[in-house]
Amino acid sequence: MLGNFSYCNPTKLHFGPEALDALAGELAHYGKRVQLIYGGGSIKKNGIYDQVVSILKAAGKEIFEDPGVMPNPTTEKLYEGCKIARENNVDLLLAVGGGSCCDYAKGVSVSAWCDEDPWEKYYVRMEEPANRLIPVGCVLTMVGTGSEMNGGSVITNHATKQKIGHVFGEEVFPKFSILNPKYTYTLPKYQMVAGIYDIMNHITEQYFSGEDDCTSDYLMEGLMRSLLHSSRIAVKDPENYEARSNLMWIATWALNTLVAQGKDTDWMVHMIGQSVGAYTDATHGMTLSAVSLPYYRYVMPYGLHQFKKFAVNVWGVRPEGKTDEAIAQEGLAAMEDWMKEMGLVLHLAELGVTEDMLDGIAKGSFIMEGGYKVLTHQEIVDILRQSL
């Protein structure tokens, strides 16, 4: 229900093949000292690193390198990044990479000047930042998380087997993000399709909640139809600019707070997927695809009206002469066919999950209350077992 809300998204986006041209103008708003955050080296191979560094140098910036942000960034890496930021008193954190780099940059932003253990304060206790923050900018190279225009920051603690996301407020959103769809051409297919499923699941996590007629549902149905169309083109033709640019734009709008307005939102697939990630370090989107179908089939009877709408409005299921349940089942079957067509992981065993981990993964899954069924621990174990 669209009750009272305030809406503001403070991230400025620069989109398109020439989007990097806007970087110099953005840099002018910040001091000289820039912490350049990137991952395991893809940006050095595809030339994005050289382009960014030459713009930083031309703008007279002093660069403090912070490479090696791993997929699913860890607490150890977070502490390392904080040290670089603090010792060099940096003015801007510039993340060049995917969701991991961008999430990590937000983590460093809130943590560098925090006097307590940031893992405990911001991720375990989920407190809001009161200390000095360092502004974040992003040059996006991987599509899926929406981190380029939201306050999410997900950090993994391998010692405690926890992967926790804090959704920070507007002050932690990137100040600007540069979105050039061509940068995503070099993504391996596995990452591309994992990102595509991440987008789909961000939308369904928000869509499968509520009983009312809400404009956000119509927006999401449109985003999902566009996602299906462009994903099918992009897997066959990865350098199709039209499809890749649509995917990039859908990903941003799927998780930048817009479509959540008026929705309770579920997020249970993400909670289970994150716990799977804490145990396996698997690719985020694949942890979601592996548990989604058993989860949605399980909760479908509790939100039948919405699953029926999903089947008809997103998957084009013809409703005539069928029961609501049959229509809803057909929608999920169509989603399964699309997931197979994409080459997504549909079984947790492929991600290294074994039977003996299920209880621990279920314990590590935060139980959310906004969806159609509040799960018990045993129900999560059952869903995980069906996902094996």
147 binds ligand NZQ per the rule CB under 6 A = yes
Pick one of Zn ion, ligand NZQ, none as the site partner of residue 187 (Cβ within 5 to 8 A by kind): ligand NZQ
φ/ψ (deg, to 5) at 328: -60, -45
If binding means CB under 6 A, how many residues of this protein chain bind ligand NZQ?
Answer: 34
Pick one of ligand NZQ, Zn ion, none as the site partner of residue 280 (Cβ within 5 to 8 A by kind): none
Helices and strands of the chain, counted as H and E runs: 15, 8
Nearer CB in complex with ligand NZQ: 34/154: 154
Contacting residue, 81, 107, 195, 262, with ligand NZQ by CB under 6 A? 195
Nearer CB in complex with ligand NZQ: 73/210: 73
CB of 289 to ligand NZQ, least distance (A): 12
> Interhelix angle for 304-315 vs 189-207, to 10°?
130
User: Token digits for 119?
Assistant: 């893992």
CB of 320 to ligand NZQ, least distance (A): 37
Cβ neighbours, 10 Å, residue 347? 13
Contacting residue, 11, 75, 145, 245, with ligand NZQ by CB under 6 A? 145
Contacting residue, 81, 135, 152, 294, with ligand NZQ by CB under 6 A? 152
Task: Write the DSSP string, 98-148.
Answer: SHHHHHHHHHHHHHTT-SS-HIIIIIIS-PPP-S----EEEEE-S-SS-GG
CA distance 247 to 244: 5
CB of 36 to Zn ion, least distance (A): 25
CA distance 329 to 174: 40
CB of 269 to Zn ion, least distance (A): 9
Specify the residue for token string 């690193």.
49
Pick one of ligand NZQ, Zn ion, none as the site partner of residue 303 (Cβ within 5 to 8 A by kind): none
SS3 10: coil
Q: Which residues bind ligand NZQ (CB under 6 A)?
A: 39-43, 46, 71-72, 97-101, 103, 141-142, 144-147, 150, 152, 154, 165, 183-184, 186-187, 191, 195, 198, 255, 270, 284
